[in-house]
Amino acid sequence: MDMSLRVEVFATDPEASGEFYRQVLGFEELSRQRADGVVHYLWMGRGTARIGIGTARQVVDPAVRSVPAGTEIVLEVDDIDAEFARVHETGWPLEGGLREQPWGLRDFRLHDPDGYYLRLTSRG
């Protein structure tokens, strides 16, 4: 039986978070739900990766979303050098540079506007 995975994050401002995933990480908006003129949920995709962005019910300290307390969202890409260059050009703050890991993959890391920790990595 096949299985797929999607990730949902909860943002204080789904529009701003959606803009980050669109402009910085290259996702496209697949759909949106709004009520009373306010966006409550965005469905974003890039390749087979899917991220839902919902409205947070309360503000959460971004520090609890980072490793080691939080979760690392890992996005695999075919060309990590091109991805690093594309993300770097946006000016979004990165957590260090592109680096080789002891397990043989290359990656770089950053936080989204709500403090979710992301690692972009080469395919293994």
Rounded-to-integer distance, Cα 98 and Cα 39, Å: 34
Q: 101 — phi, psi (to 5°)?
A: -100, 155
- With vertex at residue 81, the alpha carbon angle to CA 77 and CA 84, rounded to the nearest 5 degrees, is 80
Q: 8 — phi, psi (to 5°)?
A: -120, 135
Full pLDDT tens readout for the chain, 124 residues: 787 889 999 999 999 999 999 999 999 999 999 888 888 999 999 999 999 999 988 888 888 888 888 899 999 999 999 999 999 999 999 999 999 999 999 999 999 999 999 999 998 7
